Amino acid sequence: MKFFVDTADVAEIRDLADAGLLDGVTTNPSLIAKSGRAFKEVIAEICKIVEGPVSAEVTALDFAGMIREGNDLRKIAKNVTVKVPLTIDGLKACKALRADGAMVNVTLCFSANQALLAAKAGASFISPFVGRLDDIHMEGMNLISEIRKIYDNYGFDTEILVASVRTANHIKQAALIGADVVTAPPAVLKGLAKHPLTDKGIEMFLADWKKTGQTIL
Ligand code: E4P
């Protein structure tokens, strides 16, 4: 399973990339606003750090506007993935941009039928938002299972990019279901390494090591 980080914070991206944990990056207008930086400038900087897909989202809602914005964003770097919303215009833009060789991430997916449409439009990635479904008392992970089944039934090669990930459990469930990618905030990705018995084990080993009076260097 590929790991993308869901942030526009360049320091966090660099940190995770240095740990070999990053296969790509996703951003959205809210994350760009949070970074306080100029959109294209921050995307360009991220694309220099990470070789994999870097999602940059259009803000136009009509087909022609999405194509204009998408083509402009693609000029930033060859790993820019144009992110479009799951609307009819978004699907049209997805089809046209894919035909022109762009990578496209169709975002804001909340149903299996929406995911089916994105695959038919040739999306590179579909982004189902599990956390936001959990927020309204639905089981976000059920959607991932449904999409996996449907894509496998018909051999669609659109990658399932599990988004709106809030917990380490979301990541484990996504991996068990066989999702292709998860995108998660930096703290959630880093949290995967955490276990109280690991911390306790380090503490015990170091206490015993101290008793030996030795040093390695
Ligand atoms: C995905 O591409 C989105 O940027 C993101 O995962 C949304 O997450 P949120 O629901 O925590 O805002």
* Averaged pLDDT, 30-58: 98
Cα-based distances in Å from 18 to 11, 41, 45, 50, 183? 11, 21, 15, 10, 17
- Confidence category of residue 91, pLDDT binned at 50, 70, 90: very high
- For the stretch 128-159, pLDDT in tens is 999 999 999 999 999 999 999 999 999 999 99
Other beta carbons less than 10 A from residue 29's beta carbon: 14
Residue whose token pair is 């579909």? 126
Q: Are 115 and 147 in contact (CB under 8 A)?
A: yes
What global pTM score does this model have? 0.96
The response to whether residue 119 sits with its C-beta less than 6 Å from ligand 1 reads: no
Q: Which residues contact 46 (CB under 8 A, 6 or more apart)?
A: 8, 10, 13, 25, 27, 54
- Confidence category of residue 100, pLDDT binned at 50, 70, 90: very high
- For the stretch 76-86, pLDDT in tens is 999 999 999 99
> Any catalytic annotation for residue 83?
yes
Q: Are 23 and 181 in contact (CB under 8 A)?
A: yes
**Ligand 1 center from residue 66 Cα (angstroms):** 20
Q: Which of 75, 83, 120, 194 is catalytic?
A: 83
